[in-house]
Amino acid sequence: MSTLEQLRVDLFDAERFMRMDAIQQIANIGHVPLLIEGFLHWDTFVQQVAADGLLDAGSDAVPALIPLLDHDTGKVRIEAVRLLGQIGDASALGPLAKRLYDKEHSVRLAAIDAIGEIQDPVGLALLKPLIATGDVETRQHFLEAVLAIGTRPVIEILDHILSSDPEAFIRQQAALGLAEFGRDARNTIPTLMQALNDAAGDVRSAATTALAEIGDPAILALVDALGGEHAKAAGRALTVIGEEALPELKAAFEDDDYGMAMAAAVVLSEMRALDILIGGLRSRNPITRHVAEAALENIPEARDALDEYRADGDSRSV
């Protein structure tokens, strides 16, 4: 009897220590067919060591694991799906896609996770039909999977989720996902702007984070919004973004449109941008001087500068 034949006999021995020794030797050898037998074994210790051995075998184990995706037992299908995801071989994507429609919910979730874990762009095309379908748990797993894949086409999916998913925590994660793409996500600025008015504070905060990461294009859009119906939301976002928004806010503060100038001045006051506001008191533009004075009115630190400005005005009028 060969060594492998003896190991197979020992793998099914009545004595557990014999089984344990056999599967550990099989794992050390990396013999995939015997590891598959161990994977299907009734002994949970043998199953675990076999699974670890198959994971170590990597791509060599993929052809042997794929048939197990059609196994009658859901637990076997789940474990095979998980192993294929952990191995990360893209050749398993097609077979894994069939498990997206498995009769068992847990297998479907595992398949979503595995496809995301493989991190291949092909996986995104396989997952995309599931967008905005299923229960909350399915949508959450879908979102995590597409974020794991992380290619630029994911941006469109995240935009859709942010604008349409009924669950606040999923919308929040979509916005934070967009933040990871930075400037590449600039086409989602309109959706992120809408999200600044979301009923959930966590979503509003995540949208602000994303807009800040997008940078200049988002800041310009936020400043423009100061003159419209979403002025308060845009102002809050600009305040959070902070110093990076100052050049565009200064330009709006010096605008000839009174409403825009006043809205920018309010944001600058909230940011305590005193140098800009106090400088506005010396502007030749009367609108700039007026909105600067109004914005500084309630800032104690600006009291001396404001009193001096008003005193100069009184002396000029005498």
DSSP string for 112-175? HHHHHHHT-HHHHHHHGGGTT-S-HHHHHHHHHHHHHH--TTHHHHHHHHHHH-S-HHHHHHHH
126 pLDDT more than 80: yes
Confidence of residue 183 (pLDDT cuts 50, 70, 90): very high
In sequence order, what are the residues at sequence separation of 6 or more whose Cβ sits closer than 8 angstroms to the Cβ of residue 95? 66, 69, 84
pLDDT at 230 (0 to 100): 85
Confidence of residue 310 (pLDDT cuts 50, 70, 90): confident
Confidence of residue 298 (pLDDT cuts 50, 70, 90): confident
Among candidates 108, 109, 117, 121, which has minimal Cα distance to 145? 117
User: Worst-scoring range by mean pLDDT, 147-151, 161-165, 305-309?
Assistant: 305-309
What is the CA 196 to chain-centroid distance, rounded?
A: 17
Confidence of residue 308 (pLDDT cuts 50, 70, 90): confident
Q: What's the rounded Cα separation, in Å, for the pair 173 and 47?
A: 36
Q: What average pLDDT does the chain have?
A: 94
314 pLDDT more than 90: no
User: Worst-scoring range by mean pLDDT, 9-13, 83-87, 92-96, 306-310?
Assistant: 306-310
